Amino acid sequence: MGTQELPQIYLVTPSILDLETYPVQLAQILDTVDIACLRLGLSSTDEDEIARTADALRDVAHARDIMLVIERHALMVDRLGLDGVHLTDGGRNLRQLRKDMGNDIILGAFCNTSRHEGIGAGEAGADYVSFGPVVASTLGDGNQVDPELLSWWSEMIEVPVVVEGGLTQGIIRNLSNKVDFFAIGPEIWSTEDPLASLQALASARGG
């Protein structure tokens, strides 16, 4: 990545959202902050609910030329007219999905903190590889991403790298020269003013 280019913001939806109010809130955010990609990260496994939500958010995103990818549910991408899928298992099925879905579909792989999984996903055809969390929490396995992994990746590997999980202004400042995207979601939705929180995080890019 060139020294002048700031990492882009990759926005992740809340895992539970209210379709009465969220699309309006999302539209306001997308009109105010430059967002590269939107990820639908619903925890629901109700197909109808996912489809209804995807339809509503796709309209908001596509009206602004922003791509919408969905977490996990690769088979819903085509049916719902989405732009891709974010695989949460290190991209285990990625090579086959790439074959089945073609090259126009975005395939992203979350690889936790594993360089090995990241390289495997990249070789299998991932459009981006995501690492996280950047801060160890009591969730998951307690691991956190080593900034050295991100430095190494951005120097050695062509596949764009995303970092997510526990981002703060300080961390964004420190990692701006090591990543292509910051995936931001839980950090803002739990605050009183998600838009202001996102603007504060976005303004920390580049130091």
pLDDT at 1 over 50: no
- pLDDT tens-digit profile of 75-92? 999 999 999 999 999 999
- Spell out the SS3 assignment of 122-144: HHHCCCEEEECCCCCCCCCCCCC
Compute the average pLDDT of residues 177-194.
97
- How do strand 128-131 and strand 181-184 relate by DSSP bridges? unpaired
pLDDT score of 138 more than 80: no
Cα-to-chain-centroid distance, residue 171: 17
pLDDT at 112 over 70: yes
- Cα 114–Cα 200–Cα 112 angle in degrees, nearest 5: 10
Name which CATH class applies to 8-198.
alpha beta
Supply the pLDDT for residue 114: 96
- The DSSP string of 79-110 is HHT-SEEEESSSSTTHHHHHHHH-SSSEEEEE
Greater pLDDT, 39 or 4: 39
Domain ranges of the chain: 8-198
